[in-house]
Amino acid sequence: MFKRVFDFVIAAALLALLSPIALLVTAAIILTMGRPALFRQARAGYKAEPFSLLKFRTMTDARDEDGNLLPSAQRLTALGRLLRKTSLDELPQLVNVLKGDLSMVGPRPLYVRYTDYYTEEERRRHDVKPGVTGLVQVSGRSAPSWEERLRMDVRYVDNRSMLLDLRILLLTPWKIVTCADITPKNAEIMERLDKIRQPRQRAA
């Protein structure tokens, strides 16, 4: 209960503080990419229940002559690249925190389709609400392998406390400002989990 109140107060305060930036980003997206400014995507939340994650759009809807979406790298705009580099594309997730979908700190919400690819141990990452930031984000962000990321998620679940949450919250802005451990501009985006693993058999 205390964590929910803490999350709500922090998210509301950050939204109020960052609202001018959010308005500028919204206007820039509409001017360069058109409407809508927000992107919604189904992600796995607490107990792996799906919810709609909010982000600022970073890509166009450009398609080939057959009507298929072009590869992500071709649709990512210069503005979108800047938003990702500064993590401003994640700003709308504070609304998810107010709604109760997210906590300020927790394992990052991943694609719903990934849930069949976790080991039983890794599925424990869903024993808590996902977060806007987490242990992975202050320990390497995009740099760790999938195994390392999921192991850190479970470590957070086992060692969670308000003190750890505060430490992660305080470290997050520094990681964003310094762009520490972000995948290099020309590097490939981390390969999808369902491309490198086979589905796992769940215990009865």
Confidence of residue 187 (pLDDT cuts 50, 70, 90): very low
Closest by CA position to 10, among listed 174, 177, 166: 166
Residue 36, CA atoms < 13 Å, CB-side half-sphere: 6
Closest by CA position to 46, among listed 114, 103, 117, 92: 103
Confidence of residue 88 (pLDDT cuts 50, 70, 90): very high
Question: Which pLDDT belongs to residue 140?
Answer: 62
Tell me the pLDDT tens digit for each residue of 93-127.
Answer: 999 999 999 999 999 999 999 999 999 999 999 99
Tell me the pLDDT tens digit for each residue of 11-52.
Answer: 999 999 999 999 999 999 999 999 999 999 999 999 999 999
What whole-number distance in Å separates Cα of residue 102 and Cα of residue 131?
5
**Does the pLDDT at position 180 exceed 70?**
no
What whole-number distance in Å separates Cα of residue 114 and Cα of residue 44?
9
Residues in Cβ contact with 58 at an 8 Å cutoff, skipping those fewer than 6 apart: 39, 76, 77, 79, 80, 81, 83, 84, 89
Confidence of residue 202 (pLDDT cuts 50, 70, 90): low
pTM of the model: 0.89
Pairwise pLDDT comparison (119 vs 61), residue with the higher score:
119
